[in-house]
Structure formats: structure tokens, C-alpha cells
Structure 1
Amino acid sequence: MDAPRLSADGGDAPIAITMGDAAGIGPEIVAEVFRRWPEWSSRCVVVGDVAVMRRAAQVGGGLLPIAVLDGPAQAGRVPPRCMPVWPVVSIPALPRFGEVSAVAGRAAADAVIAAAQAALRGEVSAIVTAPLHKAALAAAGVDVPGHTELLQRIAAQARGLLPAELPVRMMLSNDVLRTVLVSIHIPLRAAIEAVTEAAVWETLRITHDHFCGLLGWPRCRIAVAGLNPHAGEGGLFGREEIDAIAPAVARAQAAGWAVTGPHPPDTVFMRARAGEFDVVVAMYHDQGLIPVKYLGLERGVNTTLGLPFVRTSPDHGTAFDLAGRGLADPSSLLAALESAWAMRARRATAAV
């Protein structure tokens, strides 16, 4: 029996799940998804190292056979209750659980690169990434702080662009709240300086394009948070709202988008959770992520907006303190898979 033929737009293509850092919980939560929800066996392919994933399967206990694939096109042939693995990397000696390892960092990055390149070729329809460890990446000489920047670089290179010429944004979401960030992994002092009219406008454009373009929503209600207490109180507590945020909001409104703000940041997330807005644009990393993570990590999903393919990930890190103990919860990874699966379907429908 031949492997299923994949369409150029990824309509029949599987989701690629990268294994994450081998010393963390990433591989074992990936294995646990296939153990608990076997229907994903024919929809996905794990991109990584066979030995890493075999060890991860053993951590959870119980039978979980591994199907070694030559490539993503064979994913549809994998029987239920098997874990499909595309071995794009091979680690000579498995790293110890819970320890920073350059070998693990390099292998994790290489898995992401292979998955991204497969997505750009249309061989996979989306990418779901298990957690990386920033110190392990640095030890391996990978000069990016995380997934978002690495995927941005790969996608930009494929188009002959510099990373800055393909702007992306991080969105964190759960079942009741979505927030998109103007800046991500930079110091707070630099993040404040990054609140410019151009940066806020670009964030609004990327957010609107994602929901109303890529996903085909007829309308997306975007609330923009202020930077300062009380959204600056008319300039009494800072001028960023007046000089940078409000002009970007006005520009979006002139384009006909459902954008409002700047809103006081201490209440805008509550209003969004109550259903008044579809998404909140936050000015910096912790302003946007604390409200979502406070609601719990179990259903949290990280999505990269602006890429030419769908990418999601669980809303947690490598959890070195839990690795190898069989205690890691795969719920957030499952939520990321469900989100990616839904987005790939909406994207395909919007493209018709």
C-alpha cells in the first residue's frame, strides 16, 4: 500500500510534533498524548530521535510501540496506539533527565528546523513544538532565545529575507482569553522602549491578518492595553498611550478594523474574559502572559502569528524537576494539538 499523497497546501498532511529538549518533559508528554488519545496516531508525526522517544514512552509505563517513518507522507499508515517517529536526529548518548545538555539543545533545535522546512515544503500542515530549554540552546551555540525567533529566522531565510523583514508575534491563549504581545523575550526596560506607534501598528496588523485573513473570521474585536497605570490617565502617568498606542489604534480603526483602546491594563483582560473582546494586544511579555497563565497551564496554547505555516506549543517549559518521573501533564500539549488541527482546517477553508 502506497503512502498517502500530500497536497501542496497541506490539506492531507499530518501535524509535525517536535520532540523538545530530551532532558525535559517534552518527549514524555508527546508520548503520553499518543498513549491516552490514540486517534492522533494517524494525524501526526513526531520529529526527533527514536531512542529519546522510546525512553519517553517507557517513562509513562504501558505498551506504546514506535513506528519509524521515512518521512511525513507515511503518517497516515500508522495504526492506532503507536507513536509515529520521523528520525531526523540521532543522539549518540541520551542526556540525563533534568540537566542542561548542549547535545539535547542541538538535537531539539535540529528537530524544529526539520519540521519547519517540512512545513514550508507542504509536507506537514502545522507544527506543534514541545518545550525547548534556553540554556541548552545557548550551550549548543544556537543563538536564538526560543522557538519564536528560530522559526522566524527559518521562514525568513526561505523567502530570502532578514528576520526583521518577516515580523511575527506571540499569542498565548486558553479557552476564555487570548493575548498577543508587542514584544517578547527582551528586558523590561527595552520592552518599554519598544512601545512605538510602528510596533503597535504592526502587532495589530499581524493579529488582524491572522484572524480575519488566515482563519477567515468576518470580524475580530481587538482590545489594546495601555502601558501605564490607568492607560496613562491622560498623560499624568506617561505619554506612551498618547504618542504611540492611540495613533496606532486610530490607524487600525481607519482601516475598518474592530480595534479599541488603549484600555487600562488592570481591567482589559477581565473584560476580554467576560466576552467583550476576542483578543487583547498587550505591550510586553509579562503584561500579557500573567493573566493567561493565572487561569491555569492545563489548556494554555502558545501560537506564533505571522509565519507562513501554523505553529502552536504548550504553555509551559521543560520542567526539568519533573522530567523522567512520569508526573508531567500532557493537557497543554493536547490543547496545542487541537488548536493546530482547528487552525489548519480554518486556514484551508479560508483559502478556498
Structure 2
Amino acid sequence: MAGRVLLTCGEPAGIGPEIATRALGCGVDYVWIGDARHLPDDVPHTRIAAVDDPVPVGHLPVLQHDFPAAVTAGQPNPENAQAVIDVIARAVNLALQDQARAMTTLPINKRVLKEGAGFPFPGHTEYLAHLAGDPPVAMMLASTSVTPPCRVVPATIHIALAEVPATLTPARLEEAIRVTHAAMIRDFGIPTPRLAIAGINPHAGEGGNMGREEIDFIAPLLERLRNEGINLTGPLPADTMFHAPARKKYDAAICAYHDQALIPIKTLDFAGGVNVTLGLPFIRTSPDHGTAFDIAGTGRADPASTIAALRMAKDMAARRR
């Protein structure tokens, strides 16, 4: 396996190009895949033909990928949508061929991709799973600068809140638990991971007074999986799971829906949060923020989350080896 981490360009009109260059010197050897014309002029870069080609010290290695239309910071152009998608697919192909140790993806804008190229996926997670042959996957947000760490996995992701009760089936929750359990062992180096499972209702249903999902299927499912040897607690009231003493009791929390999982971590560690796709045959991380069109090109973008994502990708790759 090659040594570098792949860094995909994401939406070129967002903050991706500037944070890609500002992450240099973070201790991770990475190569950027995109159109070198989009990079800021203040950091030198070198176009390479293969992932591990050498470059001068202080230069950003670039695997050139031509984009069809000009780019103006803060003004996404749908004509570039297919090129953004193709860069992701190119990185996955390289990772599957073991030409890189991991990949980190910079933010995309799903609306622009749908408008310009008919992108049918809700986000990176689902598209990456599709490219990898649709293995069971889960989206984890992991902190890097708070103690105890906060790691959260939403069992349902990019759907309307009204759709959650019907979507959160026993099979779906079980899949999230199994994928998370396996990834904590393989990629985070925790041999016996402790998983906390949130209820779907306030107060975890309060004995059926605020909903019966916890009684009808969540608790029986957890008991069955405990009998297999998986260390599980819950179903727990989500509003008391994320203060520091509670986080000391588990290694990752599995939540019922998107905001139940992401609000705590973005409150606790907004700049240091990392998005990790669990269950893929390759390692993928990303910064926990969007394209930030409002500040693109101003030099105000904070590279902290991208640096955290690159470092986590490197560390996960070392464990997986």
C-alpha cells in the first residue's frame, strides 16, 4: 500500500482549495486531487503523475484533474458538478487498488451536484458506499480535541425527521451497531468497545408514556446482541448522554437520527470534529463542516477540522495495517 493520504478537492468554489494548502505541515503526507488552477497562489504545488511521486519540500503534491468551467470563490458553477463527482470516484478507485493508505474528502454541495449532474445520493457517505459495492456502512462523527472523546453514529442519516420512526427498523439499528462495533475494533484499536444506544423518544420513552419503540424493539434487540458478547448500554435518554461523566462510560454512542447525534458533537468540538465512514473497504474521513461559500476566497477558513481529518485517516490506516 502506498503511503500518502488522498485529499479530494470537493466543491472548488468553496473553502476547499485554501484549506487544502493550509493543512501542509500538519504531519500527514497527502496528495490533493483536483484542478491546480483552483489552488491559492501563496503555497507552491507540484503536479505528479502517480500518487507516490516525490515533490520538493513544502510543495503540495497534485494529481491533476481538469475542470471544464472557470471557478469564482463563493459562486458554485453547476458545469463543474460532474468533475467534482469524478474526483471522488477517482480517489476511491486509487484506494481500492491500494495506491494510497486512506482518503479524506473536502466538502461538496449536494444541491449543486444534483443541479449540474443529477447526483442521486444524499451525500458523500451514500455515494462512497455505492462505489465500494454497497457494503453496510455508518456515518460517525468523532471529536479530536475534547476529553473524554465524543463519537456519535446516527442510525438514520439524511432523511426528514417525520420519516425517522418508520426508517429506524430493528434491522437498521442492528446494522449500525454491528458496523460500529467492528470499526471500533479494527480502526480505533479498542478491543472491547462499549457502545451506548440512545432511545428515539424523550426520556427513552419513559416506560411507554412517551412512545413504545424502546420497549417494543430497541431493548429486546440490545439484549439479543448482549448475549452475543457485544457491550451495550441502553436504550438511554439522549439528553443525558453527552456530558463528560456520561461519555466516560462508553466509546461510541449510536443515536436514532441525525440531529440527536450531531448537535452534541458540534457543540462540544466544532473545529475538531471529523466525519468517518465506517464499514468501507478503505478508510475515509472528512472535515465536519460544509463549503462555506460566504467566506470562500477571503483567507478566513479554519483548516483545523481538515487537519484533524487527515491525522485521523493516517492513524486509522496505521491500525488497519
Q: TM-score, normalised by structure 1?
A: 0.86
Q: TM-score, normalised by structure 2?
A: 0.94
> Is residue 135 of structure 1 aligned with residue 111 of structure 2?
yes
> Is residue 122 of structure 1 aligned with residue 101 of structure 2?
no
Aligned to 1:342: 315
Aligned to 1:49: 35
**Fraction of identical pairs, as percent:** 42
Task: Give me the CA root mean square deviation.
Answer: 1.5
The equivalent position to 2:86 in structure 1, one of 85, 95, 110, is 110
Aligned to 1:275: 248
Cα distance in 2 for residues equivalent to 1:267 and 1:38? 35
Quick check: 77-86 or 327-336, which moved more?
77-86
Aligned to 1:159: none
Deviations 1:276-314 (A, max 9, x none): 111100010010000000113210100001110100000
Aligned to 1:320: 293
Offset at residue 91 of structure 1 (A): 1.6
The equivalent position to 2:140 in structure 1, one of 171, 174, 180, is 171
> Is residue 148 of structure 1 aligned with residue 125 of structure 2?
yes
Cα distance in 2 for residues equivalent to 1:129 and 1:101? 19
One-letter amino acid matched to 2:30: C
Cα distance in 2 for residues equivalent to 1:216 and 1:33? 26
Aligned to 1:258: 231
- CA, structure 1 residues 167+291, in 2 after alignment: closer, same or farther (shift >3 Å)? same
Aligned to 2:197: 224
Offset at residue 273 of structure 1 (A): 5.7
One-letter amino acid matched to 1:124: A
Count of aligned residue pairs for this structure pair:
316
Unaligned runs of 5+ in 2: none
Offset at residue 204 of structure 1 (A): 0.5
Offset at residue 341 of structure 1 (A): 0.6
Provide the secondary structure at the position in 2 that maps to 1:85. Answer: strand
Offset at residue 271 of structure 1 (A): 5.4
Unaligned runs of 5+ in 1: 1-9, 157-162
Asked which structure has the greater RCO (Cα within 8 Å, sep 6+), the reply is 2
Cα distance in 2 for residues equivalent to 1:199 and 1:211? 18
The equivalent position to 1:198 in structure 2, one of 171, 176, 197, is 171
Matches within 5 A, 1:4-15: 10=1, 12-15=2-5
Cα distance in 2 for residues equivalent to 1:67 and 1:272? 48
- Higher share of residues assigned helix: 1
Cα distance in 2 for residues equivalent to 1:248 and 1:124? 38
Offset at residue 227 of structure 1 (A): 0.5
Cα distance in 2 for residues equivalent to 1:171 and 1:305? 7
Provide the secondary structure at the position in 1 that maps to 2:163. Answer: helix
- CA, structure 1 residues 272+171, in 2 after alignment: closer, same or farther (shift >3 Å)? farther
Aligned to 1:6: none
> Is residue 69 of structure 1 aligned with residue 48 of structure 2?
yes
> Is residue 32 of structure 1 aligned with residue 16 of structure 2?
no
Residues 13, 122 of structure 1: 8 Å contact kept:
no
Cα distance in 1 for residues equivalent to 2:94 and 2:109? 23
Offset at residue 335 of structure 1 (A): 0.4
Cα distance in 2 for residues equivalent to 1:338 and 1:318? 20
- CA, structure 1 residues 217+110, in 2 after alignment: closer, same or farther (shift >3 Å)? same
